[in-house]
Amino acid sequence: MRKFVLALVAAALVAPVMAPAIANAQPVNTPAVAAARHEVRRDRAEVRHDRREVAVARAHGNERAVRIAKHELRHDRRDMRHDRKVMHHKIRHAYRHHHG
């Protein structure tokens, strides 16, 4: 019974926040959001490239190249995480301005 009441309270709190987003479920496409999406896409490609470099270095048995490639991979993954956070922030900002 308590779980049911908690679920009702949670639904009552979340409903007003989620209703506008659900009502306007079309994607936001402002220039800022498009640029952020482009950055994330580029970062994803860099990470994919770095993973491939690690695999090739391992296949060749080159430990030094593996270390260098893993270092690059770590940095590019960090950049990707940051750019994804920025993108989501810009999407939220755009929703706030372009949806009731």
CATH topology of domain 30-100: Methane Monooxygenase Hydroxylase; Chain G, domain 1 (1.20.58)
The whole-number pLDDT of residue 5 equals 63
Model pTM? 0.68
For the chain, 100 residues long, give each residue's pLDDT as a single digit of tens: 676 666 666 666 666 556 555 655 677 889 999 999 999 999 999 999 999 999 999 999 999 999 999 999 999 999 999 999 999 999 999 988 876 5
The whole-number pLDDT of residue 76 equals 98
The whole-number pLDDT of residue 98 equals 73
How many CB atoms are closer than 10 A to CB 88?
13
- Return the domain boundaries, the chain: 30-100
Instruction: Report residue 57 as tokens.
Output: 């270095």
| d(C-alpha 73, C-alpha 85), whole Å | 18
The whole-number pLDDT of residue 26 equals 72
Instruction: Report residue 90 as tokens.
Output: 């810009």
The whole-number pLDDT of residue 92 equals 92
Residues in the chain: 100
Those residues with Cβ within 8 angstroms of residue 88's Cβ, 6 or more apart along the chain or in another chain: none
The whole-number pLDDT of residue 24 equals 58
